[in-house]
Amino acid sequence: MSLEIGFVGLGAMGLPMAANLLASGHRVTVWNRTLSRAEPLSGKGAVIAPRAADTVRPGGVLVSMVADDAALAELVAGEAALAERLGQGGIHISMSTVAPATTRELAELHRRTGSTLVAAPVFGRPDAAAARRLWICVSGPAAAKATAQPILEAVGQRVFDFGEVTEAANVAKISGNFLIAAAMEAMSEAFTLAEKNGVDRSALATMLGQTLFACPVYQGYGGAIANRRHSPPGFRLPLGLKDVEIVLRSAREVNTPMPMASLLRDRFVHALAMGRADLDWSALALGAREDAGLTD
Active site residues: 173
- Which has the closest alpha carbon to 122: 9, 229, 23? 9
Q: Report how far apart, in Å, the C-alpha atoms of 124 and of each of 64, 129, 141 are.
A: 16, 7, 25
Count Cβ neighbours within 10 Å for each residue of 257-276 and write b for 16 or more, e otherwise: ebebbeebbebbeebbeeeb
> Which residues pair with residue 61 across a beta bridge?
5, 91
Chain-centroid distance, C-alpha 218: 19
- Alpha-carbon span 201 to 191, nearest angstrom: 5
**What are the Cα distances from residue 72, in Å, to 32, 69, 148, 193, 194?**
12, 5, 19, 42, 43
Q: Which helix (H) or strand (E) holds 27?
A: strand 27-31
Q: Number of C-alpha atoms within 13 angstroms, CB side, residue 162?
A: 17
